[in-house]
Amino acid sequence: MTVWLLGDQLSPDAAPLATADHVLMIEAHGFAERLPYHPAKLTLLFSAMRHCRDELRGRGYEVTYVETETFGEGLSEYFEAAPDDALVLMDPPSHGAAARFTELVEERGGTLTVVENDRFLTTPDLFDEWAGDRSVDEGFRQEQWYRFVRREFDILMNGDEPEGGAWNYDDQNRETPPDGWSPPPTPTFDPDALTREVHEFVTERYADHWGNPSLEAVVWPVTRSEALSALDHFVSARLPEFGDYQDALVEGEWALSHSLLSSSLNLGLLHPQEVVDSAVEAYHREEAPLNSVEGFVRQVVGWREFMRHVYRRAMPAMGEANQLEQERELPPLYWDGETDMTCLSEAVSHVHDRGYAHHIERLMVLSNFALVYGAAPQALNRWFHLGFVDAYHWVTTPNVVGMGSFATDVLSSKPYASSGNYINEMSDFCAGCEYTVSRTTGEGACPFNALYWDFLKENEERLRGTGRMGLMYSHVDNKSDEEWEAIRERAETVRERARAGEL
């Protein structure tokens, strides 16, 4: 039996491989030009694929590894040598991929059997059973799903009750580090000859792509053993403080105590079950506090699994959703990082430098600004998709179009929009910023503030009725006509300067 292993299914222990003797892998170079993907992302992907190939060969599998332009060309080459072969493929999470691959294989005389993708903890059937009659139009809520998964898989449970008595320790995940705190060092993985060779190829072939082309940007595990050592490092060195500082933003710090495991999970190098087990075991050994472990478990089996299923249920409409009818292009600062706004300059530089920014930078800085600025959700989705090492369409679309842009309410009942106050509370950015966070209008006022109020006013018809926006609209109602005039003027100035690359 031949298993066709995709670039985000890189586990030598993937279930279908147990009964396979032959593996097909296709490295599609033209496909990687669909977007100007970050060189670190492409280096990581191709290097991880080639390392997986070598590991599989070491385990005795015959591996056909095709370097080509498109999946169609790769399959043509494969079926010339192995006409009529029957391939088995783990169901790719991206919308329409299974159908497209089936068509490509059948056009070339082969057959394709699509089986369960075991790189996730939960199956589509389980989600659908949980969702019952609930439709996409009614929306899905992560917290209910998360509790269901905790019970179903007995994760951090004490009989029927959640460990510690609460399902969620979010209120203990909002500390900011004291002065002088420094995060644990990040794990390092020396690029071997194979990674160097791939990097050379990537930087030549994709020379015009966006992001830091240096090999130093490739700080991500490219093999399963490196990914396992990153997991050990997270659990022993970073997890203890992860909870407290989960939502914090610190100038000059890109990693804080975050796990940095998302690229490994999304490439298939790590399985969600093993990363959750490692964190929970550390809690039981009293080496990590509950607020850290629960927060991490929630990211993995709550959010990550939830996003995959909601995407599956809400596509293709979710990809094009734009309920707030926001149409602006992303301002140039997303590409060049040139801005006096410390928060955005930090976040964009983190993405540019290594293809990564942590979840609060993603949601409350990068997405929040695009939302209140009025950027098209699809433009922001594209930017996330090409810029982040852990980004795939199934990941970014629910996170960016759904949650960050509130282009659909499938996932949340209110937008994650905030003024500069939130960033000021969670970071040390504002103290040294050229802009003044306490001011909303006039020259020098924090751009987030006027944009935020203007956004609420602009979208009043859609948002006012949303239950959880009541408090925000009571503040809207308290502003005078003069205040609104000044807010509108400042918001327009901010948008014009952002467009001109002068913010």
d(CA 463, CA 473): 9
Residue 177 preceded by cis peptide, ω within 30: no
Q: Which helix (H) or strand (E) element contains residue 104?
A: helix 97-107
Q: Which is nearer to ligand SF4, 278 or 424 (CB)?
A: 424
Q: Which is nearer to ligand SF4, 293 or 426 (CB)?
A: 426
Q: Are 456 and 472 in contact (CB under 8 A)?
A: yes
| DSSP β-bridge partners for residue 2 | 22, 87
Q: Which is nearer to ligand SF4, 4 or 435 (CB)?
A: 435
Q: Which is nearer to ligand SF4, 187 or 420 (CB)?
A: 420
Q: Are 42 and 32 in contact (CB under 8 A)?
A: yes
In the complex, minimum distance from the CB of residue 451 to ligand SF4, in angstroms, rounded to a whole number: 10
d(CA 246, CA 174): 7
In the complex, minimum distance from the CB of residue 361 to ligand SF4, in angstroms, rounded to a whole number: 12
Q: Are 17 and 90 in contact (CB under 8 A)?
A: no
Q: Retrieve residue 68's tokens.
A: 């080509």
In the complex, minimum distance from the CB of residue 74 to ligand SF4, in angstroms, rounded to a whole number: 46
From residue 325, how far is each of 33, 256, 419 by CA, in Å? 29, 35, 21
In the complex, minimum distance from the CB of residue 359 to ligand SF4, in angstroms, rounded to a whole number: 17
Q: Which is nearer to ligand SF4, 212 or 421 (CB)?
A: 421
Q: Is 388 exposed, middle or buried (0-12, 13-18, 19+ CB in 10 A)?
A: buried
Q: Is the dihedral of CA 223, 8, 310, 451 positive or negative?
A: positive
Q: Which is nearer to ligand SF4, 217 or 333 (CB)?
A: 333
Q: By the criterion CB under 6 A, which residues form the site for ligand SF4?
A: 341-343, 420, 423-424, 429-430, 433, 435, 437, 446-448
| DSSP β-bridge partners for residue 88 | 3, 113
Q: Are 135 and 317 in contact (CB under 8 A)?
A: no
Strands (E) in 230-351, as ranges, are none
Q: Is the dihedral of CA 476, 477, 479, 484 positive or negative?
A: positive
In the complex, minimum distance from the CB of residue 497 to ligand SF4, in angstroms, rounded to a whole number: 12
In the complex, minimum distance from the CB of residue 438 to ligand SF4, in angstroms, rounded to a whole number: 9
The DSSP secondary structure of 333-373, one letter per residue, reads HHHH---S-HHHHHHHHHHHHHS---HHIIIIIIIHHHHHH
In the complex, minimum distance from the CB of residue 62 to ligand SF4, in angstroms, rounded to a whole number: 55
Q: Which is nearer to ligand SF4, 388 or 429 (CB)?
A: 429
Q: Which is nearer to ligand SF4, 275 or 498 (CB)?
A: 498
Q: Retrieve residue 353's tokens.
A: 């430098």
Exposure string over 208-240, b if 16+ CB within 10 A, otherwise e: ebbbbbebebbbbbbbbebbbebbebbbebbbb
In the complex, minimum distance from the CB of residue 492 to ligand SF4, in angstroms, rounded to a whole number: 17
Q: Which is nearer to ligand SF4, 301 or 446 (CB)?
A: 446
Q: Which is nearer to ligand SF4, 234 or 369 (CB)?
A: 369
In the complex, minimum distance from the CB of residue 36 to ligand SF4, in angstroms, rounded to a whole number: 27
In the complex, minimum distance from the CB of residue 139 to ligand SF4, in angstroms, rounded to a whole number: 30
φ, ψ for residue 45 (rounded to 5)? -60, -50
Q: Which is nearer to ligand SF4, 89 or 341 (CB)?
A: 341
In angstroms, the first-to-last Cα distance of the chain is 58
Give 287's DSSP letter: S
d(CA 165, CA 181): 31
Name the residue with tokens 């059973």: 129
φ, ψ for residue 109 (rounded to 5)? 90, 0
In the complex, minimum distance from the CB of residue 464 to ligand SF4, in angstroms, rounded to a whole number: 25
In the complex, minimum distance from the CB of residue 16 to ligand SF4, in angstroms, rounded to a whole number: 48
d(CA 147, CA 129): 15
Q: Which is nearer to ligand SF4, 369 or 383 (CB)?
A: 369
